[in-house]
Structure 1
Amino acid sequence: MTPTTVLDTRALNRATLARQLLLDRADVPVLDAVAHLCGMQAQEPQEPFVGLWSRLRAFDPAVLSELLVGRGVVRTHLMRRTVHLLTTEDVLAWRARHDLMLRQRVLGTYRRELAGVDLDGLAAAGLAVMADGEPRSMAELVRALADRWSGPGPRALGEMLIPALVPAAQLPPRGLWRAKGGVRNVLLSAWLGRDVDPPAQDGSDPVGQELARRYLAAFGPAAVADLRAWSGLTGLPAAVAAIRDELVAFRDERGRELLDLPGGPRPDPDTPAPVRFLPAFDNAILGYHDRGRIIDDAHRGLSVAGARVVLVDGRVAGTWTVETGTVVVAPLNGFSPADRTAVAEEGSALASFLSDGDSDRVRITPR
């Protein structure tokens, strides 16, 4: 049956903010927040701290650092072949379902250089080198295999090994609060003390089905194309079809079918939305194929350029940077006096968080 209820852009915006913990800061533990969000984009190591500060009340960055050191959360390549910060349980459960996508995405970039390479043999060799549990940079791993695998360039070889062929974690101090450190990789199995969960042997896709449920809980209502854009995975229409009886359906203003969990929050479109500062590459924006619910098409490029953005009334209305302890906000189209006051207040709180209270300076540039 064709769904008849239409959710307009503002209704989808408020649902997104509620699911992403951006409508009201949540009183939940850091680990639960990372799990609810299905992980956090983290190729820029410090960005998840701002993402959680914007979502949680009284967020303590030391707690996230402790989870990284204690192996409750892990930095690894997963969705879309980008570095994400995920709970240990999710990494172990989801990694095998992403293996083919990770391999295909590297081949899409380096197909010519990797032509004729025995990828299974390369994977076995990489696993053998890393079996001792010693952390290695990508360059060190490539050098260890250079004699046998001398054809491909080192970058192609390294990016195929990690992340595509060798399930690896990026070790602290990378990703710790205010810490600097290069990428040092170790096998997930060595770091976490168990192997990743194997794929189903009966042709079913329980992980794909669970990913669909979890995605809708954190991002819905959404189309199957949105789920694929977030994850990078193929084969998801079948997984969604398998759980279709559990879901409710809507349409957006373009006529696309949107699916959701029956109990998912869908706030009144007139619900006030507070100013929020988002980090670079936040999944609240990148987690959709159609990003119009939160960012105008004219500014869509900001979402993939690594710009940190400011939400005003739930939509991207400016960008922000930090200059010598001052949070500097650049409006995209100007702010009303009320919005300017709200942006200044939230920017001041962010400056205080980033500086441990030594600064609360914020500057809004003229449009």
Structure 2
Amino acid sequence: MDRRSLNRALLARQMLLRRHAMAPIEAIEHLVGMQSQAPNPPHIGLWSRLDGFGFDDLAAPMTDRRVLRIVLMRGTLHLVSARDALMLRPLTQPILDNHLRSPRGAGLTGVPAAAAYARKILEERPRSDKELREILAEHRPDADPADLVWAVRLSLPLAQVPPRGIWGASGLARHTTLETWLEGVEVPEPSVDEMVLRYLKAFGPASVQDVQQWSGLTRLGEVVERNRPGLRVFRDEEGRTLYDLPDAPRPGPDVPAPVRFVPDFDNLLLSHADRTRIIGEEHRRRVFTVNGIIRATYLVDGFVHGMWKIEKARGAATLRISPFAPVPGPERDALAEEGARLLAAAHPDATSRAVEFEPPAP
């Protein structure tokens, strides 16, 4: 499969070739979660993928605990369904265990006891990191409370509770244990095989290295090999072996791809070892910053063509588009129209809204 064929397959799986009539929770499960290092990006990601999505549509499922934010793949915060939180969290614990074995964790003692104490505190009611630091400082005056909170967050499955994560809401991030937040919800059997196959459904065709890049886990080759009899096998232009579900969509390379706005931290850009199916290496260095920020991008003909951001000042909302190269006239018009719709959906109360193009970056 050539690069354009892989691009169109990825866009089809990611619901970016057309908007889908699907409930948000269904889309979140199909995508195997949405990276949510910041609270707002998943709303924009769903708006770009779903027909009729409103930015208030996540408030109810988050408040009634059908959807939540929790650390999962790659040790990063994700927005997932309750079922996936319970299924994926045990599978991704090895990632956090590796962090605990890092130099920062090497000098810490008594972490299991501190985690057990913190569990009791967090199950009483959700707490912020500041509150937990103060409590642990009294419990363990011999240790750095910031390091203890760090170790506790790596040791315990913690759910971040609303209103954090709801569009337009504010407030500190507060956490309780996953078991407390989802008390009474049936716990599914953790299955690394199911996780890998669902990854292929949402991101394939893909190599073993791609699956490991997305998940943060290692030694997944044996999982792929175990499931190989039920998979289709391809090769990319570099000769790498790619695996896929037999009936997954693989549109032709010439299928039209509409312009789309992709939010910060979107898994579209993060879930392959070789990301050239969606972004050129020369552009990746602009989008992926040294301090871990993944900037918002837009797609032209299915590939990252530049970056964008929304600025608000004195009630006015402006979407600024920063191209990497000149935008052809039809695509420029389409971006302006799509950008105007995004501003109207994200900031309906703005006193004015405008889409502005900056000169292509040198």
The amino acid that maps onto 2:180 is: A
Residue 227, structure 1, aligned to residue 211, structure 2: yes
TM-score by length of 1: 0.91
How do 1:136-155 residues align onto structure 2 when only pairs under 5 Å count?
A: 136-155=127-146
Deviation track 1:283-334 (CA, whole Å, cap 9, x = no partner) reads: 0111111111100101113145331101111111011111230111010112
Could you say if the C-alpha distance between residues 43 and 333 of structure 1 is closer, same or farther in structure 2, counting changes exceeding 3 Å? same
Distance 1:24 1:338 in 2: 18
Query: Is the CA contact (8 Å cut-off) linking 1:96 and 1:198 kept in structure 2?
Result: no
> Shift of residue 360 of structure 1?
4.4
Aligned partners of 1:139 and 1:158 also within 8 Å: no
Correspondence for 2:343 among 351, 355, 362 = 351
Q: 1:276·1:312 contact (CA, 8 Å) conserved in 2?
A: yes
Query: Considering only aligned residues, what root-mean-square deviation do their CA atoms show, in Å?
Result: 1.8
User: Once superposed, which parts of structure 1, at least 4 consecutive aligned residues long, lie more than 6 Å away?
Assistant: none
Aligned length: 351
In structure 2, runs of 5+ residues without a counterpart are: none
User: Aligned to 1:253, what secondary structure does the other structure show?
Assistant: coil
Distance 1:313 1:363, change over 3 A: same
Mapped contact 2:55–2:345 kept (Cα < 8 A)? no
Provide closer, same or farther for how the CA distance between residues 197 and 142 of structure 1 changes in structure 2, counting only shifts above 3 A. farther
- The residue that corresponds to 1:314 in the other structure is 302
Q: Could you tell me whether the CA contact under 8 Å between 1:73 and 1:87 is conserved in 2?
A: yes
Answering whether residue 284 of structure 2 is matched by residue 300 of structure 1, we say yes
Q: Which residue of the partner structure matches residue 10 of structure 1?
A: 4
TM-score computed with the length of structure 2 as normaliser: 0.92
% identical aligned pairs: 41
Of 347, 353, 362, the residue aligned with 2:355 is 362
| 1:119 corresponds to 2:111 | yes
Give how far 1:135 is off.
0.9
Deviation at 1:105, TM superposition (A): 2.5
* Aligned position for 2:250: 266
Partner residue in 2 for 1:3? none
Deviation at 1:189, TM superposition (A): 1.1
Unaligned runs of 5+ in 1: 1-6, 200-205
Match of 1:209 in 2: 193
| Structure 2 CA distance for aligned equivalents of residues 126 and 148 of structure 1 | 10
Matched ranges for 1:59-208 at <5 A: 59-108=53-102, 110-114=104-108, 117-132=109-124, 134-162=125-153, 164-194=154-184, 197=187, 207-208=191-192
- 2:268 alignment partner, one of 284, 293, 305: 284
Deviation by residue 1:17-71 (Cα, 9 ceiling, x = unmatched): 0000011111111110000000001111011110000000110222211110010
For residues 144 and 12 of structure 1, the distance between their equivalents in structure 2, rounded to whole angstroms, comes to 51
TM-superposed CA distance for 1:145, in Å, is: 2.2
Q: 1:4: which partner in 2?
A: none
Report the more deviating stretch, 337-346 or 9-18.
337-346
> For structure 1, which segment, 121-130 or 180-189, has the greater mean C-alpha deviation from structure 2 after superposition?
121-130
Q: Which residue of 1 aligns with 2:237?
A: 253
